[in-house]
């Protein structure tokens, strides 16, 4: 094989790899529940870690308030006017009395079965 065709092959292999990996990586960060704040929370809160760290929480409103303030202190970009909305959204969707988060609901997990 000539050096040139080896290069072409390598580029092809890398392209195919990239195309298969990107959707897989996406599938591993499940979507936050729908709601008026979904977009903003997704943007602000999945910058440093995936959404699952949020989906797994079961917290009181007071605890969510602390959590949001902590993340803001750590660098989350939350408009001051949106802070209450974030807390409302998170404490409504992930309250202490909600059943535990079920892992394995992502499409990546389903594919394994």
Cβ-based nearer residue to ligand HEC, 30 or 44: 44
Closest to 42 measured CA to CA, from 95, 80, 90, 74: 90
Number of residues that bind ligand HEC (CB under 6 A): 17
Cβ-based nearer residue to ligand HEC, 26 or 70: 70
Cβ-based nearer residue to ligand HEC, 22 or 53: 53
> How near is the Cβ of 26 to ligand HEC at its closest, in Å?
19
**How far apart are the C-alpha atoms of 49 and 109, rounded to whole Å?**
19
Is residue 47 classed as helix, strand or coil in its secondary structure?
coil
Number of H helices, E strands in the chain: 6, 0
71 and 45 in contact (C-beta within 8 Å)?
A: yes
Maximum Cα interatomic distance, the chain, rounded to a whole number of Å: 66
In the window 45-84, what residues touch ligand HEC (CB under 6 A)? 45, 47-49, 53-54, 57, 67-68, 71, 74-76, 78
Interaction site with ligand HEC (CB under 6 A): 44-45, 47-49, 53-54, 57, 67-68, 71, 74-76, 78, 86, 90
């Amino acid at each position: 094989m000539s050096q040139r065709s080896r290069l072409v092959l390598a580029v092809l292999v890398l392209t195919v790899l990239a195309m298969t990996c990107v959707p897989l990586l996406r599938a591993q960060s499940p979507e936050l529940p729908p709601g008026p704040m979904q977009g903003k929370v997704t943007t602000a809160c999945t910058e440093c870690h995936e959404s699952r760290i949020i989906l797994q929480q079961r917290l009181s409103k007071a605890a969510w308030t602390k959590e949001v303030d902590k993340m803001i202190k750590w660098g989350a970009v939350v408009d001051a006017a949106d802070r209450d909305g974030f807390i409302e959204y998170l404490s409504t969707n992930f309250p202490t009395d909600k059943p535990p988060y079920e892992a394995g609901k992502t499409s990546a997990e389903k594919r394994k079965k």
